[in-house]
Structures are given as C-alpha cells and as structure tokens.
Amino acid sequence: MSFIEDYQRAAELDDHDSLAQFQSQFDIPNDVLYFDGNSLGPLTFASREVLHHTIEVEWRERLIRSWNEDWLAMPLRIGDQIAPIIGATEGTVICCDNTSINLHKALMAAVALRPHRSEIVVDINNFPTDIYIAQSVADQHGMTLIAVPADQIVEHISEKTAVVTATHVDYRTAQILDAPAITQAAHAHGALMVWDLAHTAGAVPFNATSLKTDFAVGCGYKYLNGGPGAPAFIYVAPQHLESSGHSLQGWWGHAEPFDFEVSYTPAPGISRFLTGTATVLSMKSLEASLSVFSGVKMTEIRAKSVSLTSFFIDLFDKHLAHRGFTLQSPRSPESRGSHVALGFAGGKQLVDQMASEGIIADFRPPDLMRFGCAPLFNSHLHIVKLVERLSAH
C-alpha cells in the first residue's frame, strides 16, 4: 500500500507544528530516527555546552570553590525548574538521587504520617522497582502490601491503608491512570497518595497542586532529556513539608550541614529530602536540558504528543493491523501517554534489526515494541518513515 498520501499529510501537520523549532536544540545524528525518548532522552546542545564549561572552568579552574559559587544551590534551583512542568509550586520540588531512592523516601515519609495503619496499596503494573521498594517499606514496618491492577485500586483502599502509590502513565501501554479518582479515594479514607511521574514529566500534563497529591517522584533522563543516569526529583505537598521526614538522613538534608553536628536536625522545607552530595555533572546536564522547557507550555507539548500518537495509530490501522501487529496502547487520546506500544511475535528481533538501520525504539517482554513520540524532537514525518519500515518486516 502506497505511503504517498501519508507523507503529504505528515508534511501538512509538520508545517503547522508550533514546536518544530525545538528539534534543532537536540544533537541527534542525521542518520538516526529516535523513538526511545521515553526511555533515554537525546543529548541537547545546551547540555553539551554546559558540561564543557563545568569541566573546563568550574571543575578545572575554580575547583572546590565551585561548591559555594554554584553547586550547593543546584538541587533546589533545578527542583524549581521542574516544578511548573508537574504543576507544583516553588519550593516543593527538589532534584536528587534516583527514582527508586526518592520513592523510598516518599513512602517512608507517608507511612510515618499514618503510623497506625497496616496496608500499602500499589498498582501491580507499576514499573518493577516501584513494587520492590513498596514491598521493602511494608516489610520494614510489618505492613501488608496490596498489589492490584489500576482499575481495582480504588476498591482496595480502606481505613487500613496508609499510602497508595501508582505510576501515572503505564510504562508498558502508555495508559494514563485516573489520577483524580485514585487520589480522591485515597484521601477519602484518610490515606496519602504517592505518584510516580517517570513517563509523565515533560510529556503529559500533571498538576500536583490542584490534584492535592501528597508526594510525587520522577526521573530526569526520559522526556526531560537530562542524560543517562540523570538525577531524579521528589515533590512534597506544602502541608507536609515541615511535618514529614525520611529515613535516609544524610548530611545534605541537615539544617546546618557544614556545622558537622553529631545529632541530626532536618533542614527546613523541601531541602530535608536531600541525603548525600549532589552528582554535579549529571545535574548540570539536566539543568541545561530543562532550559528547553522554559520556552514552551505543557499544553503545547501535550497537543503535539496527541497529534503524533494519533497519527501513528491511524497509520497502524491502515498499514500494520493486518500484518501481525496489535495495538496495545489506548485508542482514546485522553487515556494515552506519549508512547505507542505494539504487540508483535517477532518484536525483539525486529527492534534489534531496525536499530542496526538507525531506527531506534525499544522492547519489553514478552512481545511489546514501544515507540516514544517525544514532542520536542519527533515529527509526523518520522512517524511515516517508522510505519513504512515496520510494514516491510
């Protein structure tokens, strides 16, 4: 089946793309089509420039003086850059550690705020590390872990529930969970809510403030493009900032870290959720990549995401549905994140073969091919080229 009309349609959509200008800020090789920004965002030219300056000037020339001149302030400064992306207010987000550690902090803090409750409810389709962390917290407190599918979470919340945790956008299918309904159900029973925004931040709007979520965590290396191993972030609702804490009481979370006191006094506000020394180079890269978001609204990003994934699904129906592929992502744009998942019996081999040809996606067992549609650097033309290659398997 010809792709001529599809290329024409893609050209029309790309001509009216208000975000097309941002593609030039990403250093993606000319011979690569990249559909894995939902797993590892590509290098930005801003990160390359900032890393060079950090190494050559801040590290090489300024040496240890750079801590006081700039580095000590990074976690809170970058947190404030992330805050508007997830609908949070200034001073409620801090950049540190990784998602697993921050989830542990959030769950431990939540359980401490609900000391007489005996259960933690989780989405059984969470990314595995979320379940592992939740189980470890439950084990440490002699609690029961209730792991159920997302559509059963609400009915399993009770007066026994201390905290509920789920991933806003499913990492396999891109299903967007009903965050308002789940959060409201948790609060109705007096439980606290922790959201994982790993596949949300930078691609799907989330309003932590209006949602009244208690805690949220997310990573910096997917749609935020911070680089491999980029630090994560943690959000704490304003009403919990002074009453909560966590078990990883390191010196950076101390009220006066350079007084080197033997006893621990938590820092005021969100800074108490720090633990150890910041990873300067990776944090610098993330800060630089976030500068891209200062010139765009999340509503624009979401509109482009829906356009890309909807176009992909239209082409799936036209070219792939009869060729052994199955659509594993929701058809409804309101329920779909920023990647499209296709089931295919030979998916692993096909993903590997395409990667050798410069078309990069990823695979999740047993048969799921995931294609990230990152609004800041993917185009509708990219989607047509991808589907044309898939149809030729």
Residue 34 appears among annotated catalytic residues: no
Strand partners, 13: none
Residue 347's pLDDT is what?
Answer: 97
Residue 375's pLDDT is what?
Answer: 98
Q: Let me know: does 96 contact 278? Beta carbons within 8 Å.
A: yes
| Given 117, 160, 222, 284, the catalytic residue | 222
Residue 127 appears among annotated catalytic residues: yes
- The residues, ordered by sequence, that sit 6+ positions from 241 with a Cβ below 8 Å of its Cβ are 92, 269, 270, 272
CA–CA–CA angle 131, 136, 139 (5° rounding) = 125
Q: Let me know: does 75 contact 273? Beta carbons within 8 Å.
A: no
Phi-psi region of 212 (alpha: psi -120 to 50; beta: other; left: phi over 0): left
Residue 223 appears among annotated catalytic residues: no
* Token pair for 346: 């030979």
| Given 26, 171, 221, 293, the catalytic residue | 221
Reported as a pLDDT band with limits 50, 70 and 90, residue 66 is very high
- DSSP-derived secondary structure letter, 43: P
Residue 105 appears among annotated catalytic residues: no
- The residues, ordered by sequence, that sit 6+ positions from 89 with a Cβ below 8 Å of its Cβ are 83, 209, 238
* Token pair for 39: 């797993």
pLDDT tens digits, residue range 114-125?
Answer: 999 999 999 999
Mean pLDDT, rounded, for 292-302: 95
- DSSP-derived secondary structure letter, 16: T
Strands, E, within the chain: which ranges?
33-34, 93-96, 119-123, 144-148, 161-167, 192-196, 215-218, 232-236, 326-327, 339-343, 359-360, 362-364, 368-372
| Given 26, 34, 35, 127, the catalytic residue | 127
pLDDT tens digits, residue range 153-169?
Answer: 999 999 999 999 999 99
Phi-psi region of 175 (alpha: psi -120 to 50; beta: other; left: phi over 0): beta
Residue 385 appears among annotated catalytic residues: no
| 91 pLDDT above the threshold of 90 | yes
| 88 pLDDT above the threshold of 80 | yes
| Given 170, 196, 214, 362, the catalytic residue | 196
| Given 97, 370, 371, 377, the catalytic residue | 370
In terms of Cβ atoms closer than 10 Å to its own Cβ (0-12, 13-18, 19+), residue 355 is middle
Alpha carbon distances (Å) from 162 to 14, 177, 217, 317, 339: 47, 20, 18, 44, 32
Domains and CATH numbers, the chain: 4-31+296-391 (3.90.1150.10), 50-295 (3.40.640.10)
